[in-house]
Structure 1
Amino acid sequence: MADLSGTWLGTYWQQGVPTRFEVTFIQSGNTLAGNILDEGYLGEAQITGTVMGRGVSFIKQYLTTSPDPVSYTGILSEDENYIQGQWEIRRLFSGTWEAYRGEDNLSLEFNNKIVEKVPVLSSAIAD
């Protein structure tokens, strides 16, 4: 059985507009739990779901911004590093989503990328 445990970076599309998210999956047997942090105003959500073979399904419930749960289904790639699928809210809204397995510490990875892009002041300017 596939093991999704760990941190993943993903994107979902609603009416063609992408929203990025970070999800931490905790898997025990075929039971899935975890937390998602969406960019922007949507914020944090909790998930509960299942893993059956390479099939993934879970419900995302936002903690503050939306009372409606979001149903996700997806298929895990053979190398177990990529998931893609569909999401749906009460059969009224739907779209596609995907996620890639991330590094162990995504915050550190993100901060390192920022530091790489920040120019270093030369000592002549600093004096």
Structure 2
Amino acid sequence: MADVSGVWLGTYWQYGSPTRFEMTLVQGKNTLSGNVLDDSSLGEANVTGEISGRTVTFRKCYLSGSRHCIDYFGTVSSDEKLMTGQWQEGIFNQGKWEAHRQDDNLTLSLEKIKSSPLQTVS
């Protein structure tokens, strides 16, 4: 079973227009919970779902406005750094989505770069 706990940066497309989002997931065995912040007027949402093997399904329910919910279906890549799939709201409103795992070790990577000797080109 894939491990999807952590921070994900993604995009979903609606009517051909992209919307960015940041999603934080916590996984307990095959159960998922977390939150999403969309780059749209809809804002913040809660997430609940499950994972089976590399298949991920979750429901995103917005906390403000109409508080509507959207269902997401997808697949986790073998390296667990990418999720791709489809979202659906009702019968007619649907589109594609993808999310990339955010590097949790950015500070460690920066420290490693800082401590490496500079290479000169002759």
TM-score (norm 2): 0.83
Q: How does 1:1-127 map to 2 (within 5 A)?
A: 1-104=1-104
- Judging by fraction of residues, say which structure has more helix: 1
The separation in 2 between residues aligned to 1:101 and 1:23, in whole angstroms, is 9
Tell me: CA distance 1:41–1:105, structure 2 relative to 1, closer, same or farther (3 Å).
Answer: farther
CA offset digits 1:13-54 (Å, max 9, x no partner): 000000000000100000000000001211000000000000
CA offset digits 1:65-104 (Å, max 9, x no partner): 3332100000001111000000000112000000000023
CA RMSD of aligned residues (A): 1.6
Which runs of structure 1 show a deviation greater than 4 angstroms over 4 or more consecutive aligned residues? none
1:41 aligned counterpart, secondary structure: coil
Structure 1: 5+ residue stretches without partners: 109-127
How many residue pairs align between the two structures?
Answer: 107
> Which amino acid is the alignment partner of residue 64 of structure 1?
S
State, as a whole percentage, how many aligned pairs show the same letter. 53
> Which amino acid is the alignment partner of residue 66 of structure 1?
S
2:24 aligned counterpart, secondary structure: strand
Tell me: CA distance 1:105–1:93, structure 2 relative to 1, closer, same or farther (3 Å).
Answer: farther
Q: How far 1:105 sits from its partner (Å)?
A: 8.1
8 Å contact kept, 1:9–1:101: yes
The separation in 2 between residues aligned to 1:86 and 1:105, in whole angstroms, is 29
